[in-house]
């Protein structure tokens, strides 16, 4: 990069963007000598800090930067313990004391609901973790065209750095994953090249139950493990056999161009095609594509809060929208007369049905439909629900679904969200139906990242007028 393409500035970090990087504003003269505002994006900084940065391409409105020096550090700044912190796009806040992260997440949720006309005082302090490390029960690693296995670089998604460790996954998960990485290098197996669509290995998905200890390893590749790969695959099976907690070793074929963990064919190399997990006293089967809360410690707190907000009673009926495999359904079904779960993913519904049977729960009714049609179906079958719980994807439930919820008139609504912004927009749709947002409790399921979940209590205030 030439000297003309960068310029050095001293700036104060004013806020954070959606990716967790600091933002600052400076003024510089343009080619005509007139002052022009330049907005800087500075990773690994904290609001209030004074920094010295090199702005890349400063003639643009926004500029990425290289952080040269933190001139006035925040008292909440700390040393990031991970050796990959400077390049990894995962835990972008390891330089920030955990208490500071939690305060910021609380303020973020407050601003989100305030933007939709709700009082920020409804938001309680974010519930954090006693130990915000080793908390993930699922990780996905990527292979580079050279055969390295790791994570994508921050700001350069095409590059994959070679993994040495990961502080948010268990030692068992990391050690088993590193064995796969060494195996690939020893056999000279190349990673997938996205632009040319060449290479063999695409991803490694590893998940572990923190309750049973069982581990699943799923290697995603562009061809079958048979034929010319048979010797290498047999070596992989032999190497992994020393990890006694691995109960599922699979090879998933994926020739699709889309860069995601998917399977056109599944080969079980050792063990089963699923592992057992438990949460809140209920047992679940997890397949490679099963959605399950990735932080089991905090997931238990989510369920605690949902039960506290929902106040389920044995004579009541309930709908669980976006129910998945029944993470919330089963604890609630044990406390109500009847529960209907709605989920658009058919495999999740089949899992929810199986999970209910295996846990001795016989008062559930699960259907594979989209949320809006699913509500109509349940209303026809069971009538007006007393409680409705929804845990939608990051995009939220959407206006049509929320208005349908409003017209169905459940007495109490429990909203579990992983996106405060879409949550606030969704809840605003309930105002014309006389629903009141009573409380919002943020919960940190992803320490050292920008993400925060929440559980909200919403009640019908005047059914006669709604």
Q: Is 299 within 8 Å of 138 (Cβ atoms)?
A: no
Q: Is 151 within 8 Å of 174 (Cβ atoms)?
A: no
Query: Residue 196's pLDDT is what?
Result: 81
Beta strands in 374-452 (DSSP E): 387-390, 412-417, 435-443
As a whole number of angstroms, the distance between CA 113 and CA 417 comes to: 13
**Residue 4 tokens, joined:** 């003309």
Query: Residue 142's pLDDT is what?
Result: 94
Q: Which residues are catalytic?
A: 418
Q: What is the 3-state secondary structure (H, E, C) of 386-438?
A: CEEEECCCCCCCCHHHHHHHHHHCCCEEEEEECCHHHHHHHHHCCHHHCEEEE
Tally of CB atoms within 10 A around 327? 24
Angle between helices 98-114 and 420-428 (to 10 degrees): 30
As a whole number of angstroms, the distance between CA 188 and CA 166 comes to: 24
Instruction: Confirm or deny that 293 is annotated as ligand binding.
Output: yes
Query: Residue 463's pLDDT is what?
Result: 58
Tally of CB atoms within 10 A around 58? 20
pLDDT tens, residue order, the chain (466 aa): 444 578 899 999 999 999 999 999 998 877 777 888 889 999 999 999 999 999 987 777 888 899 999 999 999 999 999 999 999 988 999 999 999 999 999 999 999 999 999 999 999 999 999 999 999 999 999 999 988 999 988 877 778 999 999 999 999 999 999 999 999 999 999 999 887 888 999 999 999 999 999 999 999 999 999 999 999 999 999 999 999 999 999 999 988 766 666 678 999 999 999 999 999 999 999 999 988 899 999 999 999 999 999 999 999 999 999 999 999 999 999 999 999 999 999 999 999 999 999 999 999 999 999 999 999 999 998 889 999 999 999 999 999 999 999 999 999 999 999 999 999 999 999 999 999 999 999 999 999 999 999 999 999 997 544 4
Instruction: Confirm or deny that 141 is annotated as ligand binding.
Output: no
Instruction: Confirm or deny that 429 is annotated as ligand binding.
Output: no
Burial class (CB in 10 A: 0-12, 13-18, 19+), 10: middle
Domains contained in the chain, CATH given: 6-77 (2.40.50.140), 102-130+294-460 (3.40.50.150), 138-279 (2.40.50.1070)
- Radius of gyration of the chain measured on its C-alpha atoms: 25
Q: How many Å separate Cα 377 from the centre of its chain?
A: 30
């Amino acid at each position: 990069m030439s000297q003309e393409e960068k310029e050095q500035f001293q700036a104060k970090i004013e806020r954070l963007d959606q990716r967790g990087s600091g933002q600052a504003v400076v003024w510089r003269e343009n080619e005509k000598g007139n002052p022009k505002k330049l907005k800087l994006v500075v990773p690994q900084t904290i609001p209030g800090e004074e920094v010295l940065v090199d702005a890349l391409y400063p003639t643009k409105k926004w500029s990425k930067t290289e952080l040269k020096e933190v001139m006035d550090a925040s008292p909440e700044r700390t040393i990031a313990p991970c050796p990959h912190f400077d390049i990894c796009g995962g835990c972008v806040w390891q330089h920030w004391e955990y208490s500071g992260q939690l305060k910021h997440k609380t303020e973020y949720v407050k601003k989100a609901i305030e933007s939709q006309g709700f009082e920020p005082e409804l938001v309680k302090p974010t519930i954090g973790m006693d130990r915000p490390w080793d908390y993930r029960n699922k990780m996905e690693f990527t292979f580079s065209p050279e055969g390295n296995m790791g994570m994508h670089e921050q700001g350069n998604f095409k590059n994959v750095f070679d993994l040495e460790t990961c502080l948010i996954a268990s030692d068992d998960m990391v050690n088993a994953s590193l064995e796969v990485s060494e195996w690939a290098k020893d056999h000279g197996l190349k990673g997938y090249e996205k632009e040319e669509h060449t290479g063999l290995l695409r991803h490694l998905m590893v998940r572990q139950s923190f309750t049973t200890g069982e581990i699943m390893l799923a290697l995603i590749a562009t061809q079958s493990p048979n034929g010319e790969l048979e010797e290498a695959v047999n070596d992989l099976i032999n190497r992994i056999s020393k990890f006694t907690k691995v109960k599922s070793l699979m090879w998933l074929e994926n020739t699709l161009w889309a860069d995601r963990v998917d399977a056109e064919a599944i080969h079980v190399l050792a063990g089963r095609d699923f592992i057992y997990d438990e949460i809140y006293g209920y047992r679940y089967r997890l397949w490679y594509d099963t959605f399950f809360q990735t932080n089991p410690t905090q997931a238990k707190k989510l369920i605690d809060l949902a039960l506290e907000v929902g106040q389920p009673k044995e004579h009541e009926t309930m709908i669980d929208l976006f129910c998945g495999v029944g993470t919330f359904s089963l604890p609630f079904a044990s406390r109500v007369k009847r529960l209907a779960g709605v989920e658009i993913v058919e495999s999740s519904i089949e899992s929810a049905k199986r999970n209910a049977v295996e846990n001795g729960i016989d008062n559930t009714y699960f259907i594979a439909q989209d949320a809006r049609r699913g509500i109509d179906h349940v209303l026809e079958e069971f009538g007006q629900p007393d409680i409705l719980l929804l845990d939608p994807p990051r995009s939220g439930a959407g206006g049509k679904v929320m208005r349908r919820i409003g017209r169905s008139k459940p007495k109490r609504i429990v909203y579990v969200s992983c996106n405060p912004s879409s949550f606030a927009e969704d809840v605003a749709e309930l105002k014309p139906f006389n629903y009141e947002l009573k409380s919002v409790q943020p919960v940190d399921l992803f320490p050292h990242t920008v993400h925060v979940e929440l559980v909200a209590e919403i009640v019908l205030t005047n059914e006669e007028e709604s």
